[in-house]
Amino acid sequence: MSKINLTIDGQTIEAKSDQSILEAAREIGIDIPYLCYHPDLSLHGACRVCVVEDLESGRLLASCATPVGDGMKISTRSMKARKARRKNVELLLANHPNDCLGCDRNRHCELQDITYKLGIQKEDVEKYEGDRRELPLNTVGPALKRDPNKCILCGRCVRICEEIQGVSALQFTQRGFDSIVTTAFDLPQAEINCANCGQCATVCPVGALTEMSEIEKVWSALEDDKKHVVVQTAPSIQATIGEEFGMDAGTVVTGQLVAALHRIGFDKVFSTDFAADLTILEEGNEFLKRLKGNKKLPHITSCCPGWVKYAEHNFPDLLNHLSTAKSPMQMFSALSKTYYSQQSGIDAEDIYTVAVMPCTAKKFEKDRDEINASRFKDTDAVLTTRELARMIKEIGIDFNSLPDEEFDELMGESSGAGTIFGTTGGVTEAAVRTVKEKLTGEPLERLNLGFRGINSAELEIGDRKIKVGIANGLANAEKLLNKVRAGESDYDFIEIMACPHGCVGGGGQPRPATNEKKDKRAAGLSNIDVSNEIRKSHENPQIIKLYEEFLGEPLSGESHHLLHTKYKARPKN
Amino acid sequence: MKETIYRSHVLVCTGTGCVSSGSKNIKMALEDELAAKDLSDEIKIVETGCHGFCEKGPIMIVYPEGVFYCQVESEDVAEIVEEHLLKGRIVDRLLFKEPFTEENIPSYSDIDFYKKQKRIVLANCGRIDPEDINEYIALGGYEAVGKALTKMTPQEVIDEVKKAGLRGRGGGGFPTGLKWQFARNSDSEKKYVICNADEGDPGAFMDRSLLEGDPHRVIEGMMTAAYAIGADEGYVYVRAEYPLAIRRLEKAIKQAEEYGLLGEDIFGSGFNFKLHIKKGAGAFVCGEETALMASIEGKRGMPRPRPPYPAVSGLWGKPTNINNVETLGNIPYIIKEGSEAFSSIGTEGSKGTKVFALTGKINNTGLVEVPMGTTLREVIFDIGGGLQEGKKYKAVQTGGPSGGCIPEEYLDLPIDYDSLLEVGAMMGSGGMVVMDEGTCMVDVARFFLNFTQSESCGKCTPCREGTKRMLEILNRICEGEGEEGDIELLEDLGQHIKDTALCGLGQTAPNPVLSTIHYFRNEYEAHIYENKCPAGVCKELAAAYVIDESSCVGCGQCVKVCPVDAISGKPKETYVIDAETCISCGACADRCPVDAISQG
């Protein structure tokens, strides 16, 4: 790529010819505000908030969508540019509820931020007073709710759903002032092909797309003396929740997270990583069985509920390739109301299970008809990382000054393998660590296999070559599976995570999220793995105890009853 | 086979306008009548495309004399056959009557409406049967592309178009040769040409008429463009609301394929070209190039930022050249007659002719083609026959929803791209709406902005939100709720939208408002500060009607038509209008046989 010279706000700089003005400006420390632009998505050029002035022609250019040009003289701050930028924000506000106090995104809203930075006043907006969009809210869930009146039509949700997820559950419809983003035929979320992944909510700059909140439900359970409230936290949370408290992406805060959960009042604080180790033993053995019998290959992972629902809509013919093993969350919940109940002597009826997840699809998964195994609802509530952070903030816990605390006994111990479930390639790596030892009978020495960020690999296990495929982002999954469907690929094992980068990029994670941040979060999880003394799932002592005292062995009758599930085809619409 | 020689040809217009006023029935009646009189072997009926004079349709022309009959009805057919075709006597009462002289004009070429036109693009429209490729070929059709493919290199074709000075007829006026050059310079195995027939300006029907009346000309233009840029596949993007144009185009493509004019190795030159029709759902914004391509690809018709330009990355990411129907319609003439013949017509910066859809408060409405540089006065008064009912000219709106209103002081302005821009209007695709003194300019601005607001794709903030706010202000002004500062706010928002909108639709949407404020600011001010609509159009501002006591004959007819029962009185006595109840609709004044009612 060739280099060119241009002047931005009086500074002459060298830039790559394929850069946009916005990118070039950022490199010299000038942040041009924007709303529709997103570094991980295609260019849209719609909000016109990032306009800058071309001083040669006097024209205003959308800096996100205009490539730098040799000899360009750009002002990001001329009177003309500033006025135009303000006016476009004012126009957006004139058709926005502006009820920030009651909004989920209050103080975390990109529109609010820009309004503040540009110093826009009430009267600046009032001069455009007129019609406002007044559409009914869509709050039936199961995982997400939409407030179309807050939507500023930036199209980020539309683009991420189409480009990264290949689902296109959301699209623009209508024209002119009536334009709106909605589902096909305005159908509720529950009736469309939405995977509930929540990626839309992670990129929405305003409060138009958010998770269905279960905070109040959890507070009520905590308040109820009769309830014994057990919480599990998914592997990725320990490397992401710190962002909600001002820490850098990828900062590992396991001990503080546990301390905060104890202070909120959970009776037991456990780790989903424990159940991830359990998943490896169940799914690993299932894979070994398939491998030996050479049937139902490729074996496809099923721990991601976004992916599972996507498969039910789009690849019903491949559903028998999915592992029947439940996700770690559901394994954990089933055990909470059976194994834990038995061990603690607490009646399962009185146990209330809360799962802190990086994920909005988990909210749907817990309500699946076929998922419960304990005679009760296995998972009572799912909180996203963001929801948990709000609970911590609500009761005034100073997260940053919390001491480190340990997960509680019985279901709190985990191996490094269980932890890296939270990132793409992690499940594969964890599985290989166990499967390889089981198959060869020899201890595995080299552990860091480096599956993160790759999409296929070939391994030699004993005398057998095993081909693995890995995809994150459902659009990537679709490409991979189309090859399987067409008989063009010979994978033995496929790992799929619906969200880009896996759970660290989940729909319930702190906002704003970019690929750069997600990568740092994943690195945080790797650090935990590397520093863990136990790095193989089958070496987790609490898992060994669980099999010895309760389940028998992997794929046993009791395991099947509690830890395995089934899937159903859903319409493609 | 011996060709039948006919002694007379009767051309019946079957353009959409004449078909809607009954020309198909006329044609059937004519067939029956000719058969009854045993004349079917002597006289041939030809169904043609549009003559442009739709106001006077259905139109019939009898050759060899070239006698022009207008507003023909089925009942007239027997008389035409008996008198004209058998006895050689022209049926006077069906001839065109000049509006001023009231003189009957028998010959097509003597009618002012046609006399001052120069038809290059529309040369065959109304002359040939558009459903018969042989008629097109007989008039020199496909000679141009034959010449290009066999005697010229692609670069020579582009150079010829450049030398001709042809500029895009769809709106922007970008030099066509240069556009082709960009697409030619893009290195790619696969390229596309697209004909933009997503005509959407209110009242405009240039593209439709050409596709209906001479589809092969457009195909020939596309083939030439494809050869020049190195494309082998093309799309005609045409609104589904143009069923006749689509049908004729489909037929033309089929015939061209049968003749080997489309397909593989055309004229033995090694050049291949495949042509498709893509029907659009009628979104105005799909006339914008990037939105049009998105629509062909099956996506929502929304413009995207440029660059990349279509010439670099267009349809399905391949280099693509998009031209308007009329632009392509000029190509065969340029290649066949040479660039000099073309560039000798027109002005310094605008060569050739331009087709306009002339409508509004004018005597002769219809489709006209005039040399660039013709003055507005010539088009409106000489060709258009002046204003209806001798009313006073107020303004002409050119360029449709993207254009502006031009007042009387510029009537002698020569029409070309640059002069129109200078006066705050634009060429656009060729809409020309003439307005008289009874037109409210605020209302006109409101009409066009209402159109662009509801046709906005909703993608960018200034167009979606900004035009809505402008429209609300205009509505307010027209309803008598205008406030001080509204005009300035309109100007401010208008300029803002022009400066920051994503595509041409938004960037030009404020033009009708800004140009009417520029030339008719006093009308805006009258609405706001004097609570008056000078043209008497805005109902909320119009004064109540009053009955002149001395003239009223007490007939009571006004009472019968008043929709709000505002008129009271007894027969044979003087009637009175209650000013509070009157909604100033003017129905009573129209009905009054003695002109006793007027606006107070």
Beta carbon pairs, A and B, within 8 Å: 103
DSSP B448-496: HHHHHHHH--S-SHIIIIIHHHHHHHHHHHHTT---TTHHHHHHHHHHH
**Active-site entry in A286, A312, A387, A478:** A286
3-state class of B242 per DSSP?
coil
Taking CB atoms and an 8 Å limit, are B462 and A178 in contact across chains? no
Percent of all residues in chain A with a pLDDT value above 90, rounded to a whole number: 85
Nearest to A280 by CA among A555, A558, A557: A555
**What element of type H or E holds B246?**
helix B243-258
Q: Which residue has the tokens 């017509």?
A: B345
Q: If we measure between CA atoms, which residue out of B134, B6, B148, B110 comes closest to residue B64?
A: B6
Task: List the end-to-end C-alpha distance of chain B, in Å, as a whole number.
Answer: 76
Residue B1 has pLDDT above 60, yes or no: no
Tens of pLDDT, residue by residue over A23-33, are 999 999 999 99
B170-192 burial code (b ≥16 CB/10 A, e <16) = bbbbeebbebbbbbbebebeebb
Taking an 8 Å cut-off on Cβ atoms, the answer to whether A43 and B472 are in contact is no
* CA gap B577, B597 in Å, rounded: 9
Q: Which of A323, A341, A414, A559 is catalytic?
A: A323
| pLDDT tier at A447, thresholds 50, 70, 90 | low
Q: Inform me whether the pLDDT recorded for A442 exceeds 60.
A: yes
Residues of A whose CB is below 8 A from B468: 95, 130-131, 176-177
End-to-end CA distance of chain A: 42
Give the type of residue at B373: G
- B454 closest CB neighbour out of A43, A45, A176: A176
Which residues are bridge partners to A410 per DSSP? none
DSSP label at residue B565: -
Handedness of CA A234, A238, A243, A246 (dihedral sign): positive
The pairing of strands A228-233 and A268-271 is parallel
Given this model, what pLDDT does residue A164 score? 95
Whole-number Å distance between alpha carbons of A492 and B207: 59
Contacts of B489 in chain A (CB under 8 A): 127
Whole-complex ipTM: 0.92
Strands (E), B247-331: 263-266, 271-280, 320-324
Q: What residue in A sits closest to B501 (Cα-Cα)? A: A48
Q: How confident is the model over A280-290, as a mean pLDDT?
A: 93
Nearest CA in chain B to A69: B307
B425 phi/psi in degrees, rounded to 5: -110, -165
What CA–CA distances, in Å, run from A417 to A256, A274, B314?
21, 10, 48
Q: Which of A268, A238, A282, A303 is nearest to A412 (CA)?
A: A268
- Model pLDDT for residues B174-186, shown as the tens digit of each residue: 999 999 999 999 9
The beta-carbon neighbor of B465 closest among A43, A44, A91 is: A91
Are B458 and A130 a contacting pair at CB < 8 A? no
Is the Cβ pair A91, B462 closer than 8 Å?
A: yes
3-state DSSP call for residue B414?
Answer: strand
Cα–Cα distance, B11 to B66 (Å, whole number): 10
The type of residue at A160 is I
- Model confidence at B530: pLDDT above 80: yes
pLDDT at residue A505, as a whole number: 96
C-alpha span between B270 and B265 (Å, rounded)? 4
pLDDT, position B2: 58
Burial classification of residue A26, based on how many CB atoms lie within 10 Å of its CB (0-12 exposed, 13-18 middle, 19 or more buried): middle
Q: Which of B302, B454, B461 sits opposite A48 (nearest CB)?
A: B461
Total residues found in chain A within this entry? 573
Determine, for residues B459 and A179 on separate chains, whether the beta-carbon distance falls below 8 Å: yes
Interatomic CA distance for residues A197 and A208, integer angstroms: 16
Write out pLDDT tens, residues A491-517.
999 999 999 999 999 999 999 889 999
* Smallest Cα distance from A146 to chain B, Å: 19
**For residue B536, is pLDDT > 90?**
no
CA distance B301 to B280: 9
Pairing of strands A209-211, A299-300: unpaired
* Bridge partners, A383 (sequence order): A356
The pLDDT of residue B54: 87
| Bridge partners for A232 per DSSP | A270, A355
**Min Cα separation B289/chain A (Å):** 16
As a whole number, mean pLDDT of residues B236-259 equals 96
Strands B320-324, B192-197: pairing kind: parallel
Say how far apart CA A428 and CA A178 lie, in whole Å. Answer: 47
Q: Which of A162, A365, A413, A495 is catalytic?
A: A365
For the stretch A75-106, pLDDT in tens is 999 999 999 999 999 999 999 999 999 899 99
Mean pLDDT of chain B: 93
* Residues of chain A positioned with their CB less than 8 A from the CB of B307: 67
Query: B90 with B84: CB under 8 angstroms?
Result: yes
Closest CA to B423 of B414, B435, B434, B436: B414
> How far apart, in Å, are the Cα atoms of B296 and each of A355, B231, B282, B386?
47, 17, 13, 42
When pLDDT is cut at 50, 70 and 90, the band that residue B101 belongs to is confident
pLDDT of residue B540: 84
Q: What pLDDT score does B472 carry?
A: 98
Give A122-167 as a DSSP string: HHHHHTT---------B---SSEEE-TTT-----HHHHIIIIISS-
**Tens of pLDDT, residues A351-378:** 999 999 999 999 999 999 999 999 999 9
Mean pLDDT to the nearest integer, A310-319: 96
B308 prior amide bond cis, ω within 30: yes
Q: Which of B44, B55, B39, B53 is nearest to B6 (CA)?
A: B44
Helices first, then strands: H and E counts in chain A: 20, 17
Average of per-residue pLDDT across B45-72: 91
* Cα B445 to Cα A357: distance, rounded to the nearest angstrom: 55
pLDDT above 90 covers a percentage of chain B that reads: 80
Q: What is the C-alpha radius of gyration for chain A, rounded to an integer number of angstroms? A: 25
Report chain A's mean pLDDT, rounded to a whole number: 94
Which H or E run includes B404?
strand B404-407
Q: For A312-381, give the DSSP string.
A: HHH-GGGGGGB--BPPHHHHHHHHHTTHHHHHHT--GGGEEEEEEES-SHHHHHTT-TT---SSS-S--E
Compute the average pLDDT of residues A411-434.
89
Query: With 70 as the cut, is the pLDDT of residue A36 above it?
Result: yes
Domains and CATH numbers, chain B: 8-115 (3.40.30.10), 133-343 (3.40.50.11540), 353-436 (3.10.20.600), 441-529 (1.20.1440.230), 545-599 (3.30.70.20)
Of B302, B455, B461, the CB nearest to A47: B461
Active-site residue flag, A304: no
Cβ contact (<8 Å) for A172 and B460? no
Would residue A303 show up in a list of annotated catalytic residues for this protein? yes
Residue type, B130: P
Q: Which of A67, A84, A179 minimises the CB distance to B500?
A: A84
CA A249 to CA A245: how far, in whole Å?
A: 11
Query: Which of B290, B306, B452, B459 is the best mutation test for A, with the most CBs of A within 10 A?
Result: B459
What is the 3-class SS of A383-434, one letter each residue? EEHHHHHHHHHHCCCCHHHCCCCCCCCCCCCCCHHHHHHHCCCHHHHHHHHH
Best mutation target among B464, B472, B483 (most A Cβ atoms within 10 Å) is B464
What CA–CA distances, in Å, run from B248 to A403, B252, B373?
81, 6, 33
Q: Among B455, B469, B472, B495, pick the best mutation site for testing chain A contact (most A Cβ within 10 A).
A: B469
Contacts of A176 in chain B (CB under 8 A): 453-456, 458, 464, 467-468
- Tell me how far apart the alpha carbons of residues B56 and A44 are, in angstroms, rounded to a whole number: 48
Dump the DSSP string for B186-211: S--S--EEEEEE---STT--HHHHHH
CB contact under 8 A, A65 and B501: no
C-beta neighbour count of A463 within 10 angstroms: 7
Query: What contacts A477, CB < 8 A, 6 or more positions away?
Result: A166, A307, A310, A471, A496, A498
The minimum CA-CA distance between B143 and chain A, rounded to whole Å, is 44
CB contact (8 A) between residue A179 and residue B465: no
pLDDT of residue A448: 67
Question: Is B465 within 8 Å of A177 when comparing Cβ atoms?
Answer: yes
Predicted pLDDT of residue B106: 86
Find the catalytic residue in A23, A110, A162, A283: A283
Burial B489-517 (b: 16+ CB within 10 A, else e): ebbebbebbbbbbbbbbbbbbbbbbbbbb
How does pLDDT run across B339-348, given as a tens digit for each residue?
999 999 999 9
